[in-house]
Amino acid sequence: MRGKLLLMAGLYLVQGLPYGLQSGLLPVLLRARGLSLTRVGLAKGLYAPWLFKLVWAPLVDTRGSPRVWLALSTAALGVVCGLLASLPPAEEGQVGLPTITAVLLLLLNLGAAVQDVALDTLAVQLLEPAELGPGNTVQVVAYKLGAALAGGGLLALVPTLSWPLLFLLMAVTYLLAAALAWASPALELLPQPQPSEAAPRPGHHLQALLAVPGTLWTAGFVLTYKLGEQGAGSLFPLLLLDRGASAPELGLWNGMGAVACSIAGSSLGGALLARHRQPLPLLRPVLQLRLVGLACQTALLFRLDALGTGVGLGTVLKGVSLLSLCLQHFLGGLVTTVTFTVMMRCSQLAHSALQATHYSLLATLELLGKLLLGTLAGVLADSLGLRPCFSLFLALSAVPTLYLGLAPSSLAR
């Protein structure tokens, strides 16, 4: 198992680099070059390939092996980074992102999304049921570390390293990861497809996916389990900013502190899974803990709202508020690791020629669930008010706990 986990750690680490690059590093570089906030925000449209993983997931299932797809997509990311090294993000005073740079960044996201499908398929096929807990802990923690390194670590090096050197460094990292994916002895353990296994016809793919035991329940769970958490998490830091917390403080606690606490929560989730093995029985107390944490944060918000916008945060309230942020990220990381283990367990029940597509379906729904309330939270707060809005988030966080009672027995084995 150690060889499998080391391989997954290295590959998931480099998989997190594009997200950190475009969420943390690129906006700062573009703004420093004089681009408007609107154009900096529109650059997030380059994430689009991540929402279409189901388009190429069947190809990963039926054409070639996950090992080949993983090595080629990772090497392609290295080539794209090498090309980006020759182009600046924008010239001084330029009003938009250069077209060639935008196209290469879009290709970077496309390659990362293909790599994501191949790597998840590899994990589904490589991990034994007893290894799912440690495997998913490595997946979540390594991805978050990669995003933090690209977003925060590379940003700290910007005064020292130029744009070309940053991307050359990433290119070398990707090419080394591609060599690791191709030559790793752990991948020799991948099961070989049997000639008697007939893949479902393309027209029956969706029907076959939904027929996998536990799929409908798991799809509903991953679509809803983050709704309340994401809504509250996107608004609460802004409320603290309105009450006098400084941007550097929020950057430290809601940025670096949040990543550290989320990784700690994910690590605890992996340790608990290693002991209990079955993720579903563990989900109930974990979700209940998160609900209690969100209830405390909601009560704190009601207190801050009662003070009014003209009253700043006192020392005690500021400390409690920042602690609440870290606690929610810790509990969120714990819930995520256990949920990803349930997703992977469900995908392992699928036909071997469907596993990449099946896991991609669940992962896409999980992403949509996280984006939905994070995107609409501001609209809900402006239209409903803060108190009704956070009460709604609290109610939404109770739904997954109740939904667990409908879990099928196929996922409990």
Q: Kindly write down the DSSP assignment for every residue of 79-114, as one continuous string.
A: HHHHHHTTS-S--TT-SS--HHHHHHHHHHHHHHHH
By the 8 A CB rule, do 187 and 118 touch? no
Give the percent of the chain with pLDDT over 90. Answer: 13
Q: Which of 322, 154, 330 lies closest to 250, judged by CA?
A: 322
Residues 280 and 324 in one domain: yes
Report how many domains make up the chain.
2
Residues 325 and 373 in one domain: yes
Residues 57 and 180 in one domain: yes
Q: In this structure, is residue 207 part of a structural domain?
A: no
Q: Which CATH number covers residue 251?
A: 1.20.1250.20
Residues 154 and 11 in one domain: yes
Q: Is the pLDDT of residue 366 over 80?
A: yes
Tell me the C-alpha distance between 22 and 29, whole Å.
10
Angle at 86 between CA 82 and CA 91, to 5 degrees: 140
Q: What is the mean pLDDT of residues 82-108?
A: 74
Q: What is the mean pLDDT of residues 257-276?
A: 83
Q: Which domain holds residue 226?
A: 215-411
User: Which of 40-49, 148-157, 338-347 is predicted most confidently?
Assistant: 338-347
* Residue 194, pLDDT score: 46
Q: Is the pLDDT of residue 195 over 60?
A: no
* Residue 197, pLDDT score: 47
The mean pLDDT value of the chain amounts to 78
Tell me the C-alpha distance between 246 and 228, whole Å.
25
6: Cβ–Cβ under 8 A, 6 or more apart, which residues?
186
Q: In this structure, is residue 210 part of a structural domain?
A: no
Residues 395 and 260 in one domain: yes
* Residue 211, pLDDT score: 87
The letter for the amino acid at 289 is L
Residues 237 and 157 in one domain: no
Q: In this structure, is residue 197 part of a structural domain?
A: no
Q: Kindly write down the DSSP assignment for every residue of 175-218, as one continuous string.
A: HHHHHHHHH-GGGGGSPPPPTT-PPPPGGGHHHHHHHSTTHHHH
Residues 173 and 229 in one domain: no
Q: What is the mean pLDDT of residues 188-203?
A: 51
Burial of 195 (0-12, 13-18, 19+ CB in 10 A): exposed
Residues 85 and 222 in one domain: no
Residues 252 and 106 in one domain: no
Q: Is the pLDDT of residue 74 over 50?
A: yes
Tokens 């020759």 found at: 86
- Among 172-176, 187-191, 213-217, 315-319, name the one with the lowest average pLDDT: 187-191
pLDDT band of residue 339 (cuts 50, 70, 90) is very high
Residues 169 and 104 in one domain: yes
Residues 229 and 181 in one domain: no
How big is the chain, counted in residues?
413
Q: What is the mean pLDDT of residues 339-364?
A: 84
| Angle of the 355-384 helix axis to the 99-126 helix axis, nearest 10 | 120
